[in-house]
Amino acid sequence: MKRPSDHPPVAAPRVGVMLVNLGTPQAPTASAVRTYLAEFLSDRRVVEIPRAVWLPILHGIILRTRPAKSAHAYAQVWTDQGSPLAAITQAQAQDLQVRLGETVMVDWAMRYGAPSIPDVLERMKAAGCERILVAPLYPQYSGATTASVMDRLGEGLAAMRWQPAIRTLPPYYDDPAHIEALRADLSAQLRGLAFVPQVLLLSFHGMPERTLHLGDPYHCQCRKTARLLGEALAGEFPGIRVETSFQSRFGRAKWLEPSTEDTLARLAREGAAQVAIAAPGFSADCVETLEELAIRGREVFEEAGGKDYAVLECLNAGADGMAMLEALVRRELLGWV
């Protein structure tokens, strides 16, 4: 049958890969941060308090006080390319595009803020992507992260008449490719330090402790990543003790412990004068690593008597991390590419 002359153009079928990370405000200003936090903290996956209780607190107190403080933190790490998290995620997508070639379209999105998952989904579908692998860049699964990405993806699909086929990248917290990428990358960084750390502290983003008791596997997966990574590093660095902590506590609820700040203070008081810290739960450096760990963490450590302190970079778009990401994505694309 001949295509009608007024038929809209249809792109040739393609396979797509969408990298997804958490999100970022559009600028390091109180107004932009307020917009970002309003979306982030309104997510039922992130704050599981009943709406009738939480929303008055959010809009009456938190969004009136927290944006200015958070904007100050973002301003200290903002770059010429904008948000570090956005710039790095974009770089990861660009590098992965080169690695996969033109048969696959690679794009990136943020769970909160821009570019949004529904917008990127529409863009990829318009470009001919009838099969899309959605890859949340969270090594460890949590309802507040990975599941929230799936929720937002579902909202985007619900608005589409012609939906693409979807696959999703599983958590890769204990994947040998992930542990090896972390080992190789962190080993190189440790060798490059001007001091030999007594302790390597592995800091993961915190979650309310109740999420663990409700069945969220995040805590267990973080602990397994830490254990496997510690074992992988032990051969080259037998004199470095590896410890695990959780950062970014918020509110009055009990959070996963030990906290990163408390651990840094304790290490300094106990005489561990040289400490390095890494964040193997983050695929890219962001305000939590560049400000919370690198600036505030240093202050806590030094005020407690610590001397030498180094924050190691995340995998970002480095060679080790990108080789891992390519391997994981190619595995999930089998049968499509």
Same domain as 43, residue 182: no
Residue 250 pLDDT > 90 = no
Nearest to 304 by CA among 278, 275, 337, 283: 275
Same domain as 168, residue 37: yes
What pTM, to 2 d.p., does this model score? 0.94
Same domain as 38, residue 122: yes
- Read out DSSP for 27-75? SSSHHHHHHHHHHHTT-TTT--S-HHHHHHHIIIIIHHHHHHHHHHHHH
Mean of pLDDT values over 193-217: 97
Same domain as 153, residue 181: no
Structural domain tally of the chain?
2
The confidence band for 176, taking pLDDT boundaries of 50, 70 and 90, is very high
Phi and psi, residue 311, nearest 5°: -105, 120
CATH number of the CATH domain containing 187? 3.40.50.1400
Residue 4 pLDDT > 80 = no
Same domain as 19, residue 153: yes
Domain housing 211: 176-311
Q: Are 204 and 247 in contact (CB under 8 A)?
A: yes
Per-residue model confidence (pLDDT) at position 337: 92
* pLDDT tens string 68-125: 999 999 999 999 999 999 999 999 999 999 999 999 999 999 999 999 999 999 999 9
Same domain as 244, residue 183: yes
Same domain as 153, residue 184: no
Mean of pLDDT values over 270-280: 98
Per-residue model confidence (pLDDT) at position 3: 65
Same domain as 154, residue 23: yes
Q: What percent of the chain has pLDDT over 70?
A: 97
Q: Is residue 112 part of a domain?
A: yes
Same domain as 200, residue 134: no
Q: Is residue 273 part of a domain?
A: yes
Question: What mean pLDDT, rounded, does the chain reach?
Answer: 96
